[in-house]
Structure formats: structure tokens, C-alpha cells
């Protein structure tokens, strides 16, 4: 069968015109020639066109995940996490600690000192590039935003976490505005009477880009109602009372012990800023502050504020903190071993109820190509 017959057969199989197939084939031949390919150009070009249509059919055959538009506002940001960079960092730390030869024997690097991909699985599936050289330009980005959202027509809002593994969205969400009414199209992974667990949509027509809304929202009232005790109507049409999710500062230690094994644990705390170290950031750019109970100054918890959250308040401000708990560690001066310390809060969002002063500080991320993550 000559090439003309092959192209005609491909056109019939995929229900396209022979003119379109021929044009695509010609363009692919030219592309290969421009790349300097010297052998089997015609056959390689044909395989490229055939594979392109195979992929289109395979993709079209997959059921699209249903998307939903939610309305509300963003309160928090986990920041960008680069899984590929984490692999590089862990291997470099291993080399610094044990040396190149040990890293080679442990299959951290190859004979040319290339860092090898240490990820055995990706999204639950076997990684075909496991223990192969990791491209120095590869970025595998993840980011999670949080906020209060509702479906169209629903009265109660729910606290929501929205996660993306799309590099473009992870960067584009740099533009997202906090505590500004908006809408966003998402995939609802889980929903109950209190929370949404969401993932982003990457399809061009339903990409999870936030769009600002020109409407009034009583942000504080929505937070107070959603986190405080309130009633909702469940899927069975029954009225259910949702208990308050606010945690007293004096009860944080006990709550952490109960929830510490939950990867998606959450905590919501009210308090007064007792102190804030804006002039002493940690090695990773976080700022620490002390949050005290407004009714008992002896009850205080340390809050870590990551660099992606803007600090536009000072001491004695009244704030709401959304985040997760972790137990701090410190090195014993006598044994030099790491031992357990107090439970602290890693903030994912802060709502300022009453700002007392404006010591606005924020850290800019590295400039990278990106899409618009917010549309006014």
C-alpha cells in the first residue's frame, strides 16, 4: 500500500477529509525535515499523524468529569508546592550527608551524577520514569486554595478546599484576591453538610479561573454563620443542626491529639494578636505571631503565617485564623535530641476583624510565565 492509500484509509477511519489528512501529513514531513531527520521521514510523519488521531479518539472516549460553578470568596492559600523540586532537594541533602558514592549505590543518582526520579507512583499509578534521570526543567506543581462557597440556589455556605495539579493554574492563582466575591468552576470530589472538597478543572472551556463578582457580600457574617452553630437541610430534606467549629485556644492541644493523624485536619480559631515578629521571618519566609484568647490572656497559641499571606495588621488586632495544627519540635540542650514542644497553628488564611495598625508586608514569588487566575 502506497502512502496515498494509507492516508486515504486514515481519513476514512477517522471521518476527516483526505485534503485535511494530506495537509497535516505535508506539515509533519516539513517539520521532520527542519529538525534534520534523515531516515524514514515519510513513514515517521505518517505514524505521527496516525498517533495524533488515536490520542484524540482516546481522549474523546473518556467521560468528562462533571463540573459545577460555586460562588463565594477565597480566604487561604497553601502556596505552590513543586514535587519535582522536592525530589531534587531531598537527593541533594542525601548527597551532602552521605556523599556521591552512597547516593549512586542508593539509586539517587546515576553514573553521570544525574538526579533520578524517586517517585514510584504518580496519582496512584506506577511512574514509568521511576529511577530514570529527572529533567532539570521539570516542574510538577500543586496548590490548594480555601474559602467559603455555595452552589447556585443554596443558602448556606460551606468551607471549601480547592486543589490543583495543573502547572498553569498553580501559577495563575497568584492573581487570586482574598475576601472578594467571585465565582469559579470546579469538580466536586466530596460534599457533606459542612465541607466541600474540590479539585480544579483544566479543560479549556471550564478551567478553574476565578471571576470577580460585582455584588455585596457580608464576609464576616458569612464566616460567623458558617463556622458557628447553624442549621441546614440535608439531602433527605431533614433539618440538621451543625455544631460550631470554632475552637477555643485552651482546647487546641486536645483537638490536635484527636485529629493529628488526619491529613486534611482543619482548625478555626478567634483571637487577639498578642505579638507578631514581622521583622524576624523564618528561613522559609514565614512570620510567627502569638494569638491570645480575648477573655483570658494566659491562653495563647503560636501561629505560623506563610509568606503567601499578606500581613496588613499588627498587635491587638482581632483576627480569625483558619489552618491546621502541628506539634512543634525543639532540640534539648542536654541530649541534643529533638523533643516534642507545644502545638502550633500553620495558617492557611487570616481574616482581620478589627485591624489596629498597618504593617503591610508580603513576599513576592519568583517571576514565572503564567495564565490569568482571576478575571474582574
Are residues 162 and 134 both part of a single domain?
Answer: yes
User: How far apart are alpha carbons 109 and 118 in whole angstroms?
Assistant: 10
Domain end marker among 61, 86, 101:
61
- Examine residue 375 and state whether it is found in any structural domain, yes or no: no
| Residue 167: exposure state from Cβ atoms within 10 A (0-12, 13-18, ≥19) | buried
What is the per-residue pLDDT across 354-370, written as a single tens digit (0 to 9) for each? 988 654 433 334 455 56
| Residue 223: exposure state from Cβ atoms within 10 A (0-12, 13-18, ≥19) | buried
Residue 297: partners with Cβ closer than 8 Å, 6 or more residues away: 274
**What cell was used for 102?**
552512597
Are residues 275 and 349 both part of a single domain?
Answer: yes
219 compared with 279, residue with greater pLDDT:
219
Shortest CA distance to 68 belongs to which of 185, 235, 168, 177? 185
User: How far apart are alpha carbons 287 and 273 in whole angstroms?
Assistant: 13
Lowest mean pLDDT among 125-129, 147-151, 297-301: 125-129
Are residues 114 and 44 both part of a single domain?
Answer: no
User: How far apart are alpha carbons 358 and 171 in whole angstroms?
Assistant: 28
- Examine residue 48 and state whether it is found in any structural domain, yes or no: yes
Complete DSSP assignment for 207-235:
---EEE--S---HHHHHHHHHSSEEEE-T
**Residue 148, number of CB atoms within 10 A of its CB:** 27
Domain end marker among 41, 61, 81:
61
Which structural domain, as residue segments, surrounds residue 196? 65-245
18 compared with 185, residue with greater pLDDT:
185
User: How far apart are alpha carbons 363 and 308 in whole angstroms?
Assistant: 7
Gyration radius of the chain's alpha carbons:
26
367 compared with 178, residue with greater pLDDT:
178
- Examine residue 158 and state whether it is found in any structural domain, yes or no: yes
Run of H or E residues at 233: strand 230-233
- Examine residue 369 and state whether it is found in any structural domain, yes or no: no
| The predicted structure's pLDDT at residue 72 | 97
CA distances for 57 relative to 20, 23, 229, 299, 329, angstroms: 17, 20, 50, 61, 53
* Cβ atoms of 342 and 303 closer than 8 Å: no
State the total domains in the chain: 3
pLDDT band at 94 (very low <50, low <70, confident <90, very high): very high
* Cβ atoms of 185 and 351 closer than 8 Å: no
CA distances for 82 relative to 73, 126, 349, angstroms: 25, 19, 21
Are residues 261 and 119 both part of a single domain?
Answer: no
| The predicted structure's pLDDT at residue 60 | 56
- Examine residue 363 and state whether it is found in any structural domain, yes or no: no
* Cβ atoms of 274 and 292 closer than 8 Å: yes
What is the per-residue pLDDT across 222-247, written as a single tens digit (0 to 9) for each? 999 999 998 888 777 888 888 999 99
Q: Name 232's bridge partners.
A: 240
| The predicted structure's pLDDT at residue 366 | 40
**What cell was used for 24?**
497535516
What proportion of the chain, given as a percentage, has pLDDT over 70? 93
Q: Name 158's bridge partners.
A: 149
Are residues 81 and 221 both part of a single domain?
Answer: yes
- Examine residue 306 and state whether it is found in any structural domain, yes or no: yes
Are residues 206 and 78 both part of a single domain?
Answer: yes
What is the per-residue pLDDT across 37-60, written as a single tens digit (0 to 9) for each? 776 788 888 888 888 887 676 555
Pairing status of strand 210-212 against strand 374-375:
parallel
Are residues 152 and 99 both part of a single domain?
Answer: yes
| The predicted structure's pLDDT at residue 155 | 76
pLDDT band at 148 (very low <50, low <70, confident <90, very high): very high
| Residue 158: exposure state from Cβ atoms within 10 A (0-12, 13-18, ≥19) | buried
Are residues 205 and 85 both part of a single domain?
Answer: yes
Tell whether the model's pLDDT for residue 214 goes beyond 60. yes
Are residues 202 and 339 both part of a single domain?
Answer: no
- Examine residue 205 and state whether it is found in any structural domain, yes or no: yes
Pairing status of strand 338-354 against strand 318-331:
antiparallel
| The predicted structure's pLDDT at residue 100 | 92
Q: pTM value?
A: 0.74
| The predicted structure's pLDDT at residue 151 | 93
Are residues 80 and 221 both part of a single domain?
Answer: yes
- Examine residue 365 and state whether it is found in any structural domain, yes or no: no
Are residues 256 and 307 both part of a single domain?
Answer: yes
| The predicted structure's pLDDT at residue 157 | 94
Are residues 323 and 280 both part of a single domain?
Answer: yes
Tell whether the model's pLDDT for residue 62 goes beyond 90. no
| CATH at residue 298 | 2.40.50.140
Amino acid at each position: 500500500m502506497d502512502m496515498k492509500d494509507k492516508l486515504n484509509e486514515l481519513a476514512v477511519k477517522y471521518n476527516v477529509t483526505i485534503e485535511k489528512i494530506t495537509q497535516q501529513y505535508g506539515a509533519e514531513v516539513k517539520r521532520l525535515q527542519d529538525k534534520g531527520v534523515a531516515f524514514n521521514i515519510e513513514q515517521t510523519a505518517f505514524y505521527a499523524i496516525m498517533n495524533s488521531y488515536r490520542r484524540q479518539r482516546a481522549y474523546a472516549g473518556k467521560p468528562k468529569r462533571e463540573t459545577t460553578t460555586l460562588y463565594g470568596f477565597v480566604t487561604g492559600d497553601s502556596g505552590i508546592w513543586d514535587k519535582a523540586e522536592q525530589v531534587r532537594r531531598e537527593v541533594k541533602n542525601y548527597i551532602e550527608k552521605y556523599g556521591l558514592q552512597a547516593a549512586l549505590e542508593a539509586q539517587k543518582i546515576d553514573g553521570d551524577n544525574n538526579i533520578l526520579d524517586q517517585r514510584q507512583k504518580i496519582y496512584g499509578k506506577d511512574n514509568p520514569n521511576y529511577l530514570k534521570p529527572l529533567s532539570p526543567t521539570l516542574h510538577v506543581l500543586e496548590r490548594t486554595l480555601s474559602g467559603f462557597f455555595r452552589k447556585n440556589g443554596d443558602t448556606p455556605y460551606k468551607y471549601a478546599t480547592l486543589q490543583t495539579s495543573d502547572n498553569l493554574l498553580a501559577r495563575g492563582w497568584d492573581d487570586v484576591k482574598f475576601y472578594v466575591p467571585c465565582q469559579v468552576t470546579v469538580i466536586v470530589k466530596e460534599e457533606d453538610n459542612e465541607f466541600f472538597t474540590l479539585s480544579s478543572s483544566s479543560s479549556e472551556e471550564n478551567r478553574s479561573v476565578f471571576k470577580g463578582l460585582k455584588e455585596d457580600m457580608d464576609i464576616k457574617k458569612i464566616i460567623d454563620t458558617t463556622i458557628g452553630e447553624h442549621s441546614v437541610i440535608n439531602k433527605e430534606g431533614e433539618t440538621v443542626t451543625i455544631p460550631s467549629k470554632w475552637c477555643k485556644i485552651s482546647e487546641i492541644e486536645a483537638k490536635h491529639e484527636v485529629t493529628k493523624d488526619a491529613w486534611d485536619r482543619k482548625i478555626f480559631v478567634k483571637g487577639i494578636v498578642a505579638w507578631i515578629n514581622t521583622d524576624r521571618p523564618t528561613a522559609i519566609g514565614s512570620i510567627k505571631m502569638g494569638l491570645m484568647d480575648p477573655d483570658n490572656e494566659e491562653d495563647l497559641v503560636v501561629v505560623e503565617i506563610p509568606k503567601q499571606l499578606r500581613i496588613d495588621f499588627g498587635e491587638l488586632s482581632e483576627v480569625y485564623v483558619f489552618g491546621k495544627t502541628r506539634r512543634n519540635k525543639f532540640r534539648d540542650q542536654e541530649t541534643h535530641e529533638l523533643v516534642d514542644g507545644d502545638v502550633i497553628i500553620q495558617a492557611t488564611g487570616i481574616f482581620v476583624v478589627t485591624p489596629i495598625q498597618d504593617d503591610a508586608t508580603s513576599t513576592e514569588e519568583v517571576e514565572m510565565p503564567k495564565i490569568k487566575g482571576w478575571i474582574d
